[in-house]
């Protein structure tokens, strides 16, 4: 039977926001035989939160070797690439995430940011409209959760500042539709 004490410790540190310690504990869990399919996603997220974008990409890639249709792994790997200023590769991952799960609004927002960075404004606006139609993305939480690098943060803030009123109006409209 595998010893999962390190895995439990890793999860506990992760939930406390102690990403560096959780990474060490996830590594120890792997060394003690914990199933890699349980470790790569949370360790990748810990690397992402810690600003270790290359290590995050590696973990999400390992997760995709285990589960090649995992839209969350594609999305998060794209976020890691984007934060590491590799926008083209990030767009590929966002496309893969959306092709596997077209209902994930955050993937459309992320792809919209990538398209905007590549000056593909009309496509970026279409993706933002799609994200709004799904009504499952809050701007502030998206920025806090995924815009880790200063470059991505500034880009997201400028995009959302430009569209703040239309975004809020659209979200108010969605809430009113749900209430009635």
The pLDDT, as a whole number, for residue 171 is 45
Region 142-161 average pLDDT: 79
Q: Which residue has the tokens 């993305």?
A: 137
The pLDDT, as a whole number, for residue 160 is 65
The pLDDT, as a whole number, for residue 167 is 47
The pLDDT, as a whole number, for residue 3 is 60
Region 2-16 average pLDDT: 87
Of 24-28, 93-97, 136-140, the poorest mean pLDDT is in 136-140
Please give the residue that has the higher pLDDT: either 143 or 138: 143
pTM, 2 dp:
0.84
By CB atoms closer than 10 A (0-12, 13-18, 19+), residue 34 is: buried
Mean pLDDT of the chain: 86
Instruction: Return d(Cα 4, Cα 173) in angstroms, integer.
Output: 47
Look up the CATH number of domain 1-68. Answer: 1.25.40.10
- Name the pLDDT band for 161 (thresholds 50, 70, 90): low
Domain assignments of the chain as residue spans, ordered by start: 1-68, 87-180
The pLDDT, as a whole number, for residue 84 is 95
The pLDDT, as a whole number, for residue 144 is 80
The pLDDT, as a whole number, for residue 34 is 93
Instruction: Return d(Cα 50, Cα 18) in angstroms, integer.
Output: 9
- Name the pLDDT band for 86 (thresholds 50, 70, 90): very high
Region 129-154 average pLDDT: 79
Alpha helices in 16-163 (DSSP H): 19-31, 36-49, 53-66, 71-83, 87-100, 105-117, 121-134, 139-146, 150-162
Of 29-38, 96-105, 136-145, 167-176, the poorest mean pLDDT is in 167-176
């Amino acid at each position: 039977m595998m010893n999962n004490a390190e895995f439990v410790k890793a999860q506990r540190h992760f939930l406390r926001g102690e990403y560096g310690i959780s990474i060490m504990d996830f590594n120890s869990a792997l060394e003690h035989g914990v199933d890699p399919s349980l470790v790569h996603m949370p360790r990748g997220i810990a690397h992402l939160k810690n600003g270790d974008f290359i290590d995050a990409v590696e973990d999400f890639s390992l997760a995709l070797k285990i589960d090649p249709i995992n839209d969350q792994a594609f999305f998060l790997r794209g976020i890691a690439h984007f934060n590491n200023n590799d926008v083209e590769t990030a767009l590929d991952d966002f496309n893969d995430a959306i092709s596997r799960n077209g209902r994930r609004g955050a993937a459309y927002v992320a792809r919209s940011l990538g398209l905007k960075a590549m000056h593909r404004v009309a496509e970026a606006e279409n993706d933002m409209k799609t994200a709004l139609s799904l009504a499952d993305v809050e701007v502030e939480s998206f920025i806090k959760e995924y815009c880790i690098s200063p470059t991505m943060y500034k880009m997201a803030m400028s995009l959302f500042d430009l569209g703040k009123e239309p975004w809020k109006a659209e979200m108010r409209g969605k809430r009113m539709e749900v209430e009635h």
